[in-house]
Amino acid sequence: MLKKIIIGLMALFINAPLHAETSSTINQTSTQDCQDFTNVDIRKLRSKESINLCQFKNKPLLIVNTASNCGFTPQFKGLEALYQQYKEQGLVVLGFPSDDFFQEEDSEKETAKVCFVNYGVTFPMFATSEVRGSKANPIFKYLNEQTSSPNWNFYKYLVSADRETVLRFNSKAAPDSEQMIAAIETALSEK
């Protein structure tokens, strides 16, 4: 019996580095297979952890520039409802807080409180960054080239799963509007 345990432990230790190498290789491969604008690491809101947006490959993305102290801030509720309704079908909502319009909190702690505590956001939120001009984060640089820069907070960009189509919706387009729902359902049916 002891011999079987020792052999089992030896097999575990011998295979552990192989497993780690395989896992690392898989992550590199998936990033290498992703050659679109989402192949970028972005730091999560109030975290040291970054994620590569390629993990959402082959899924439609709803990308939103957000702000904590804007008249449109209550749209967080609608965005979260959209995420809950469509995430099992593949929709990914991504929030990018920005102070480009001078309506974001001064600290990430306060921004996180507004998003996670006040509005119960569960979709990925990222560290505060610029979304306009030459210092825009890489995601918004691409979106701005494809359509145009957001003119205010809570502009929404619906990116198709194949990354070929970008639809831009202004702040007044409520997350639960017929226009948004129709566009999301179309994007989900095409993935």
10 is written with which tokens? 């030896």
C-alpha 145/C-alpha 131 separation (Å) is 12
Q: Any catalytic annotation for residue 70? A: yes
Q: Where are the alpha helices (DSSP H) in 49-100?
A: 75-86
Strand 61-66 vs strand 92-97: parallel, antiparallel, or unpaired?
Answer: parallel
> Is the Cβ–Cβ distance between 75 and 154 less than 8 Å?
yes
C-alpha 154/C-alpha 115 separation (Å) is 13
Q: Is 102 exposed, middle or buried (0-12, 13-18, 19+ CB in 10 A)?
A: exposed
C-alpha 85/C-alpha 64 separation (Å) is 17
> Is the Cβ–Cβ distance between 79 and 123 less than 8 Å?
yes
DSSP-derived secondary structure letter, 116: I
Residue type, 134: S
Query: Which residues are marked as active site?
Result: 70
